[in-house]
Amino acid sequence: MKLKTRLTVSFCIIIFVPVILAICVIYGFQKIQIRGIQEAYGVKADNYMELMNPVQLLNQYTSKNYELLLKIASLDPDQFLDLSFLENTNRKLKAKYSYLLVRREDTILYKGEEGGLDAEDLPGYWEYEPDAVSGTYVDGAEEKLIKQINFRFSDRSRGSVFIVTTAYEVLPEVKRLAFDLCVSILIILFLTAAMLIVWMHRGIIRPIEKLKAATFNIQQGNLDFTIESEGKDEISELCGSFEEMRKRLKESFEQQMISERESRELISNIAHDLKTPITAVKGYSEGLLDGVADTPVKREKYLRTINSKANEMDALLNELTLYSRIDTNRIPYNFNRLNVAAYFNDCIEEIGMDLETKNIGLAYFNYVDNDVMVIADPEQLKRVVNNIIGNSIKYLDKAQGFIHIRVKDVGDFIQVEIEDNGRGIAAKDLPYIFERFYRADASRNSATGGSGIGLSIVKKIIEDHGGKIWATSKESVGTVVYFVIRKYQEVIQNE
């Protein structure tokens, strides 16, 4: 849920949920409590307003007592002279916050409450018609409701009986009902607030705490953790972006570590491989200076050896320079249309002379038509062939070594195969031979020296030409390296 929507829903919950729940609670309590009061006291009330109005409520509360006294006044008025009857009636009225008062002429015969109303406070005779649900409201030191019944005793003297009720009293059930309502509303507000807090904590606070912990981990250099994002709101999207950033940082850090390790390995390899020719150059040059080479033949031999070792160092440095360009994607390419047959004929002629001096046999087979063309950089493509053949020469272990080169037409591509009969490559090493610095031969003797980046350069050049390179090999039998380059095809536009 979007953050804006979440805040809108929270606002609606704060406003409407307590109101709706309070209405439901009030309605439920009203039904339950009013029914209970009606059954317990015989009071007729349809809503809270009637229950909370003491005048209306207590008027109804004593209506049955009033009707009973009215009946006695009409049938047997002298019963009001019976003290035991009056005491019993007054005890019942006391339970209803009322008391009984009997008057004869101007004298009060019975007062059910000490300190109650005096004769002068009472209304006169026959000032209104008797009514079970109405009375006289006296507003004095104490607000009282007076119900009056006028009659005549058997001797024809005037008499009145009064039910006096304290007007501000409220039924205990009504008091408890008001208290329950207040408590219920407070509970509703508390539960609503708790629900919102939990909801907001799960949707906002918890993700922010995750981000805070993630930020601390990154600050400490720890990238081995995961930020889980739930939902589709802005904070979840932020968590997702943060997790993506963490992954990129980790990949960048790991790549940096690999690059640093490879650079250290490259420096170590170059230093190791330069040490041998430098030692040779130093030794032969000292021999010349010390006069050890005292004949023209020896001096020529020493000079040729020095020249050969210098060429080895130059080749290593060239590989290092090219590697730095590969690492920064700055290999200079000069693409041209090349005739496959003509290009490889010239290339094989040059390679053949070099292999002949090393007593290595060379066989070349061209299976493509004379008009097949490719788009390639001739210099870099030549470097590919030379690096592959140079790598094969290093690992030739037979008395008579040979190298076979085949150029084939495979549909939209031309495929070049370079096969040797060297020691071969173990199956466990074969998938890694085109990786930078990988060497199946870890002995690093002078015969198989090298920087370990020759085949990785080959792979990079072929891929930059839009091609692919791979190899197959059998130990003690030999290795075949394959690479393909897409053929050049002219696009004919319809006029």
Place of tokens 């080479």: 293
Question: Are residues 396 and 456 both part of a single domain?
Answer: yes
Assess whether 305 and 326 both reside in one domain. Answer: yes
Same domain, 403 and 288: no
In terms of Cα–Cα distance, which of 319, 270, 293, 267 is closest to 461?
319
Boundary of a domain, candidates 182, 205, 228 = 205
Longest dimension (CA), the chain: 178
On whether both 316 and 453 belong to a single domain, the answer is no
Q: What's the pLDDT score for residue 446?
A: 45
Q: Which of 106, 70, 112, 116 is nearest to 92 (CA)?
A: 112
**φ and ψ at 332, to 5 degrees?**
-80, 115
Tokens coding 378: 């001739």
In a domain, 80, yes or no: yes
Helices (H), 291-329: 296-327
For residue 226, being part of any structural domain is answered with no
Distance CA 80, CA 107 (A): 14
- Same domain, residue pair 466 and 446: yes
Q: Amino acid letter at 173? A: E
Residue 187, pLDDT score? 84
The reply to whether 215 falls in a domain is no
Q: Where are the beta strands (DSSP E) in 153-252?
A: 158-166
For residues 103 and 159, is the Cβ–Cβ distance under 8 A?
Answer: yes
Same structural domain, 163 and 180: no
Residue 374 sits at φ, ψ, to 5 deg, of -135, 160
CATH of the domain at 286: 1.10.287.130
Q: How many domains does the chain have?
A: 4
Domain that holds residue 97: 60-170
d(CA 450, CA 269): 7
Q: How far apart are the first and last CA of the chain?
A: 57
* CA distance linking residue 420 with residue 478, whole number of Å: 5
DSSP 173: H
Q: Is residue 230 part of a domain?
A: no
Contact status, residue 413 vs residue 487, Cβ threshold 8 Å: yes
pLDDT at 466: 92
Q: What is the reported pLDDT for 45?
A: 54
For residue 234, being part of any structural domain is answered with: no
Q: Judge whether 49 lies within some domain.
A: no
* Residue in 59, 57, 58, 27 with CA at minimum distance from that of residue 45: 57
With H, G, I as helix, E, B as strand and everything else as coil, classify residue 2. Answer: coil
Q: Which amino acid is present at 345? A: N
CA atoms within 13 A on the CB side of 428: 2
pLDDT in tens, the chain (495 residues): 566 666 777 777 777 777 787 778 777 766 776 666 655 555 555 555 555 555 556 666 678 888 899 999 999 999 999 999 999 999 988 877 788 999 998 889 999 888 778 888 788 886 655 544 455 655 555 667 888 889 999 888 999 999 888 765 555 556 666 777 788 888 888 888 787 777 776 667 777 777 888 888 888 878 887 877 666 767 777 777 888 888 888 888 888 887 787 777 767 777 777 787 888 888 888 888 888 888 888 888 888 888 888 887 887 787 777 766 666 666 778 899 999 999 999 999 989 888 888 889 999 999 999 999 999 999 999 989 999 998 899 888 888 899 999 999 999 999 999 999 999 999 998 988 888 766 665 544 444 555 567 888 899 899 999 999 999 999 989 999 999 999 988 655 454
Q: What is the pLDDT of residue 185?
A: 81
Q: Are 116 and 248 in a shared domain? A: no
Residue 437 sits in a domain of what CATH number? 3.30.565.10
Is 178 in the same domain as 130? no
Model pLDDT, residue 212: 83
Q: Which residues pair with 404 in a beta bridge?
A: 363, 419
Do 387 and 482 fall into the same domain? Answer: yes
Q: Do 316 and 345 reside in the same domain of the chain?
A: no
In a domain, 491, yes or no: no
- For helices 454-464 and 378-394, give the axis angle rounded to 10 degrees: 150
**67/397 Cα distance (integer angstroms):** 133
Locate tokens 């070594």: which residue?
401
Residue 13 pairs in a beta bridge with none
> In the prediction, which pLDDT does 253 show?
85
Q: Using CA atoms, how far apart are residues 233 and 430, in angstroms rounded to an integer? A: 49
User: Do the domain assignments include residue 223?
Assistant: no
CA 453, distance to chain mean position in Å, is: 42
The structure's pTM equals: 0.49
Q: Are strands 158-166 and 98-104 parallel, antiparallel or unpaired?
A: antiparallel
Residue 471's SS3 state is: strand
Is the same domain home to 393 and 448? yes
- The tokens describing 382, both together, are 């030549």
The label of the residue with tokens 């990785």 reads: 456
On whether both 39 and 185 belong to a single domain, the answer is yes
Q: What is the pLDDT of residue 4?
A: 66
Q: Which of 198, 200, 191 is nearest to 18 (CA)?
A: 191
Q: Which amino acid is at 296?
A: P
Which of 164, 180, 163 is closest to 36 using CA atoms?
A: 180
